């Protein structure tokens, strides 16, 4: 039973059956009590009629003229309405023409007390029996007790009760079935947004839909919102994996260039150093494939030494051009960033400066407004006017004459943003390009 609709419908059916059963029994009991009360009141009126019609002689005998009987049926034998009067020691003093024998006597009941009961008799079948005892003052001054008894057949009453009970059960069952059908329709309508979401998820899986819509019921909006977030996260993860391959290829260019330019006189040390760097780069980008959130709880490092490492590598790659590097970054300045990310950023930015014709590259630092600003200036051709914002996008290049994939600046920009920093492109005071990295200062 994995269907929510089936579970809800079954639960509703059980509750509805219990409710209908209890309600029907309660109604039948109430109707039975009211009908019995009505029968009691009718029989009570008949006893009052007998009291008014009875004449009592001095010897205690009772006489009732037939035309004075409170119910004409009392004159018809076995009519279903029976009456009798008993004296002391339950002696029968009078009985109606409808009564051929006697109603089972009873000595219970105090004077003035009504006794109403359901009784079974062999001769008259099931009866309602009402007894009422009174004391009577005879003409000779003697006080004697009489018991007036009315018997009313229950056959018609029970037949009507059975018919009413059957009709009530049929009516309640029909209403229950209709109500259950209504609940089923309501459930189908109420759960239709879930079925729609299920179809839309299938469409997303098949590639015909990008995400779940926002026009869903308020109760489902947190669910669809989180599913959309999960879908976007998964797509972003896939995109980062693709970008990581591009970043990895881009990052390996510099050590590969160094290896190409190593000659026999350079010795094995440079080769080993560049091979180790390539291994570090591969490991770094594999770990970075899942990155996508800000990383602010990183240990603080000094940018001076990572910059020196990149400068030493680039001096070997571009040794024939004799590029002048001037590292003025304050050795005491520290920023919260992983050393591998800082090496990646410096590698991209300094290699761009060398690749595009700079002969002088200067690195400097200063602090202010709670941030550390690292500046890289060169005397190359600089950034084209109007392209400063576009160049930090992936795949955008200002010069297509040089080899490259156009992701160095974009990758550096993404890395800086992960640490709450910014990367700004501008013009240098030494005639070329300036890249300013701003990150929160370590406190």
Asked if the structure places residue 248 within a domain, the reply is no
Kindly indicate the confidence band of residue 225, based on its pLDDT and cuts at 50, 70 and 90: confident
Greatest mean pLDDT among 5-9, 221-225, 371-375, 397-401 lies in 371-375
Quick check: is 357 in a domain?
yes
Residue pLDDT, tens place only, 324-367? 999 999 999 999 888 888 998 999 899 989 988 889 999 999 99
Q: Which of 44-53, 133-142, 217-226 has the highest mean pLDDT?
A: 44-53
- Select from 161, 179, 202 the last residue of a domain: 161
Q: For the chain, what is the domain count? A: 2
Of 78-92, 197-211, 292-306, 400-414, the poorest mean pLDDT is in 400-414
Instruction: Kindly report the CATH number assigned to the domain that includes residue 141.
Output: 3.30.450
CA 376, CA 384: separation in Å to the nearest integer? 17
The answer as to whether 219 is a domain residue is no
Note whether residue 281 is domain-resident.
no
Tell me what pLDDT residue 397 has.
Answer: 45
pLDDT above 70: residue 126: yes
Q: Is residue 294 scored above 50 in pLDDT?
A: no
Q: Which range, of 257-266, 367-376, 394-403, averages the lowest pLDDT?
A: 394-403
- Asked if residues 197 and 224 have their Cβ atoms less than 8 Å apart, the reply is yes
Asked if the structure places residue 90 within a domain, the reply is yes
For residue 58, count other CB atoms closer than 10 A to its CB. Answer: 10
Expressed as residue numbers, the domain containing 427 is 295-440
List C-alpha distances in Å: 261 to 266, 314, 315: 9, 11, 11
| Mean pLDDT (whole number) for 287-298 | 51
Of 208-212, 247-251, 439-443, give the lowest mean pLDDT range.
247-251
| pLDDT score of 25 | 94
- pLDDT over threshold 60, residue 410: yes
CA 170 and chain centroid, separation: 38
Token digits of residue 54: 């009875």
Q: What is the pLDDT of residue 272?
A: 67
State whether 156 and 303 are in the same domain: no
Mean of the pLDDT values across residues 190-201? 87
Three-class DSSP category at 392: helix
Structure tokens at 343: 């090496």
In percent, the amount of the chain with pLDDT more than 90 equals 30
Exposure of 405 by Cβ count < 10 A (0-12 exposed, 13-18 middle, 19+ buried)? middle
What does the mean pLDDT of the chain come to?
82
Tens digit of each residue's pLDDT (9 = 90 or more) over 379-390: 988 888 876 677
CATH code (residue 336): 3.30.565.10
Which range is least confidently modeled, 104-108, 194-198, 210-214? 104-108
Asked if 9 and 156 sit in the same domain, the reply is yes
SS3 379: coil
Q: How confident is the model at residue 285 (pLDDT cuts 50, 70, 90)?
A: low
| Segment holding 146, helix H or strand E | strand 143-153
Output the CA–CA distances (angstroms, integers) from residue 90 to 100, 105, 107, 109, 198, in the order listed: 17, 7, 7, 12, 83
Residue 439 token pair: 């990150």
The last residue of a domain, from among 161, 186, 213: 161
Domain presence at residue 354:
yes
Structural domain includes residue 118: yes
pLDDT of residue 277: 67
Considering the entire predicted model, what is its pTM? 0.50
Q: Among 143, 161, 179, give the residue marking a domain's end.
A: 161
On whether residue 214 sits in a domain, the answer given is no
pLDDT digits (tens, 9 = 90+) for 243-276: 777 777 666 766 766 666 665 555 566 666 666 6
């Amino acid at each position: 039973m994995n269907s929510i609709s089936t579970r809800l419908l079954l639960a509703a059916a059980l509750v509805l059956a219990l409710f209908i059963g209890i309600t029907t029994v309660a109604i039948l009991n109430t109707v039975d009590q009211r009908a019995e009360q009505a029968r009691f009141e009718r029989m009570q009126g008949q006893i009052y009629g007998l009291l008014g019609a009875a004449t009592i002689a001095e010897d205690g005998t009772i006489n009732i003229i037939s035309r004075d009987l409170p119910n004409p049926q009392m004159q018809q034998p076995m009519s279903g309405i029976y009456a009798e009067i008993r004296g002391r020691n339950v002696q029968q003093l009078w009985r109606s023409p409808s009564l051929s024998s006697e109603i089972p006597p009873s000595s219970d009941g105090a004077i003035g007390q009504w006794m109403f009961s359901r009784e079974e008799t062999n001769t008259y079948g099931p009866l309602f029996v009402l007894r009422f005892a009174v004391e009577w003052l005879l003409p000779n001054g003697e006080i004697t007790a009489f018991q007036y008894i009315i018997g009313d057949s229950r056959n018609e009453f029970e037949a009507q009760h059975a018919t009413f009970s059957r009709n009530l059960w049929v009516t309640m069952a029909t209403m229950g079935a209709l109500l259950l059908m209504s609940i089923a329709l309501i459930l189908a309508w109420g759960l239709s947004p879930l079925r729609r979401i299920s179809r839309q998820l299938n469409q997303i899986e098949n590639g015909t839909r990008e995400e779940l819509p926002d026009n869903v019921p308020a109760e489902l909006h947190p669910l669809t919102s989180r599913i959309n977030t999960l879908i976007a996260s998964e797509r972003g993860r896939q995109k980062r994996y693709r970008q990581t391959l591009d970043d990895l290829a881009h990052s390996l260019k510099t050590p590969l260039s160094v290896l190409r330019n190593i000659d026999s006189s350079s010795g094995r040390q440079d080769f080993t150093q560049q091979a180790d760097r390539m291994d570090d780069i591969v490991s770094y980008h594999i770990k970075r494939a899942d990155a996508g959130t800000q990383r602010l709880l990183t240990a603080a490092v000094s940018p001076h030494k990572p910059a020196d490492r990149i400068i030493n590598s680039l001096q070997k790659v571009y040794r024939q051009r004799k590029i002048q590097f001037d590292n003025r970054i304050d050795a005491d300045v520290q920023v919260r960033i992983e050393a591998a990310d800082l090496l990646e950023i410096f590698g991209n930015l300094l290699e761009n400066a060398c690749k595009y014709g700079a002969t002088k590259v200067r690195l400097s630092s200063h602090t202010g407004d709670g941030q550390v600003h690292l500046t890289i200036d060169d005397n190359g051709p600089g950034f084209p006017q109007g392209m400063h914002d576009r160049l930090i996008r992936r795949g955008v290049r200002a010069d297509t004459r040089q080899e490259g994939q156009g992701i160095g600046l974009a990758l550096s920009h993404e890395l800086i943003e992960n640490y709450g920093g910014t990367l700004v492109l501008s013009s240098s005071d030494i005639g070329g390009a300036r890249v300013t990295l701003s990150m929160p200062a370590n406190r």
